[in-house]
Structure 1
Amino acid sequence: MMTGREPSIRLQGVNHWFGSGETRRQVLFDISISIERGSLTVMRGPSGSGKTTLLTLMGALRKVQEGSIRLLGQELHGASEAAQEMLRRRFGFIFQAHNLHESLTARQNTLMGLEVHGPGGDAAKQNAAAVHILTSLGLGERIDYLPEKLSGGQKQRVAIARALVSNPEIVFADEPTAALDKEAGLNVVRLLKTLAETRGTSTVMVTHDTRIIDLADMIITIEDGRLA
């Protein structure tokens, strides 16, 4: 784990709610967390405890209502949408729904992960990066398959490849291994660990997978919107 620099993620006194007036319901209460660069952090807790809400706040996918969230040294509270969009380009996102383009091959779907950085770039290098990441995830023989020819677990691995191909500085993942068997799930974690060690990538992952919990550098438990 890398130290000596500002943490990749720092939350202080974060509160969040849905609705307003009589229908207002607070879902997060006074959350303060510091996550070091190059670490694998697991968030766990019962369904409905606020894990996914917290993950989307950390990923600048939801507006900070109260408190401070600093990502890679930049404050989110009060930041413009343009500033948040530029920051999101430095992240990788993995969700339970893989959301692949059905008309594109595994390779082409993976290359979509590079388009957030704008047009251009060395096409040969980008293609090599896509092939490398897909092969690392056990999809070397299915690089040019359309999603309809892939199993659910294989589609999820393509979605993971799409999130990682750009070498993001932070990866936010919501149950990324839920559809994967034991070996495929461990391959994903090994890849994330390699990115952490070689590039300082930080990963924040919501999961109930005990195999991953055992490999985490830090575990955050959320219960009823509070740090347990």
Structure 2
Amino acid sequence: MTSQTIIAARGLNHWFGHGEARKQVLFDIDLTLARGSFTVLMGPSGSGKTTVLTLLGCLRGVQDGSVQAMGQELHGAGDAQLTKLRQRMGFIFQSHNLHESLSALQNVIMGVQVRPGVDDALARRAGAHALGLVGLSDRLDYLPANLSGGHKQRVAVARVLVGNPAMVLADEPTAALDKDSAADVVDLLKRLGTQRGTTTLLVTHDPRILDRADSILTLEDGKIVSCTGGRTGSRA
């Protein structure tokens, strides 16, 4: 694993269930994500895309094979190690998961406010800066109910930005957005790679964003069947 590699999976297999109900859902997944790259993972429903995302994002344990994330092996890693790695990652989902009773700014800073050494004033400055980066400087005090779907997803992106993650994992973040809003969200994520060296892995069914990807992986029946582009390595 080189200094330019942030994720490397080799021979990754995964099962769900137990006994006779046990079913293999991933088969010998090999992939490498380069620092600063923007990778799209595509495939039909049930192909294993979200399972790959949760394994690489330290949201579930690696059962078989090797996954190295930011230089650390995940197979056999304990809860404390996985938690520390997750703190260096940002997660965006189809549902923006905003707290309806909190303003856009409050939603963005609620995670950083609990960090040691971060007072309210610093958190608010960082949150306002992040919302400015996504074009919402004039909506800091808006409640989610008063924001469009595209603006809510921008708040979710700002919430990731404020933590300055090494890697962003996004699961269908554009599915509920119109074409222009979807393009805005993807362009914001791509700028993270250019400006901060952040690696993004985005799971999607959305063909509208494929031309913005550095690389596209296609998953079928738990196997990588194709890879296009040059900044992500994979081997089915």
TM-score by length of 2: 0.89
Counterpart-to-counterpart distance in 1, 2:219 and 2:169:
16
Are the equivalent residues in 2 in contact too, given 1:160–1:176 (CA < 8 A)? no
Counterpart-to-counterpart distance in 1, 2:126 and 2:176:
24
Deviations 1:158-196 (A, max 9, x none): 222212221100000001122222332222222222221
1:173 corresponds to which of 163, 170, 176: 170
2:160 corresponds to which of 158, 163, 166: 163
Are the equivalent residues in 1 in contact too, given 2:43–2:220 (CA < 8 A)? yes
Structure 1, gaps ≥5 residues long = none
RMSD (Å), alpha carbons: 1.8
Are the equivalent residues in 1 in contact too, given 2:27–2:223 (CA < 8 A)? yes
Which sits farther off after the overlay, 16-25 or 175-184? 175-184
Are the equivalent residues in 1 in contact too, given 2:186–2:209 (CA < 8 A)? yes
User: Alpha-carbon deviation of 1:126?
Assistant: 2.9
**AA in 1 matched with 2:60:** R
2:51 corresponds to which of 29, 53, 56: 53
Are the equivalent residues in 1 in contact too, given 2:113–2:120 (CA < 8 A)? no
Matches within 5 A, 1:149-160: 149-160=146-157
Counterpart-to-counterpart distance in 1, 2:37 and 2:158:
19
Counterpart-to-counterpart distance in 2, 1:170 and 1:54:
15
1:205 corresponds to which of 196, 202, 206: 202
Counterpart-to-counterpart distance in 2, 1:150 and 1:217:
31
Structure 2, gaps ≥5 residues long = 226-236
| Alignment pair present for 1:186 and 2:183 | yes
User: Alpha-carbon deviation of 1:214?
Assistant: 0.8
Q: 2:90 — aligned with what?
A: 92
Q: 1:140 — aligned with what?
A: 137
Deviations 1:67-97 (A, max 9, x none): 0010000000001100110110000000112
| Alignment pair present for 1:104 and 2:102 | yes
Are the equivalent residues in 2 in contact too, given 1:40–1:204 (CA < 8 A)? yes
1:28 corresponds to which of 10, 23, 26: 26
Q: 2:41 — aligned with what?
A: 43
2:60 corresponds to which of 59, 62, 76: 62
Counterpart-to-counterpart distance in 2, 1:181 and 1:63:
35
User: Alpha-carbon deviation of 1:6?
Assistant: 4.5
Q: Helix, strand or coil for the counterpart of 1:8?
A: strand
Are the equivalent residues in 1 in contact too, given 2:153–2:185 (CA < 8 A)? no
User: Alpha-carbon deviation of 1:7?
Assistant: 0.9
Aligned residues: 225
Are the equivalent residues in 2 in contact too, given 1:17–1:25 (CA < 8 A)? yes
Counterpart-to-counterpart distance in 1, 2:83 and 2:192:
23
Task: Write 1 or 2 for the structure with the bigger share of strand.
Answer: 2
TM-score by length of 1: 0.92
Counterpart-to-counterpart distance in 1, 2:172 and 2:134:
17
User: Alpha-carbon deviation of 1:153?
Assistant: 3.0
Counterpart-to-counterpart distance in 2, 1:154 and 1:217:
25
User: Alpha-carbon deviation of 1:150?
Assistant: 2.2
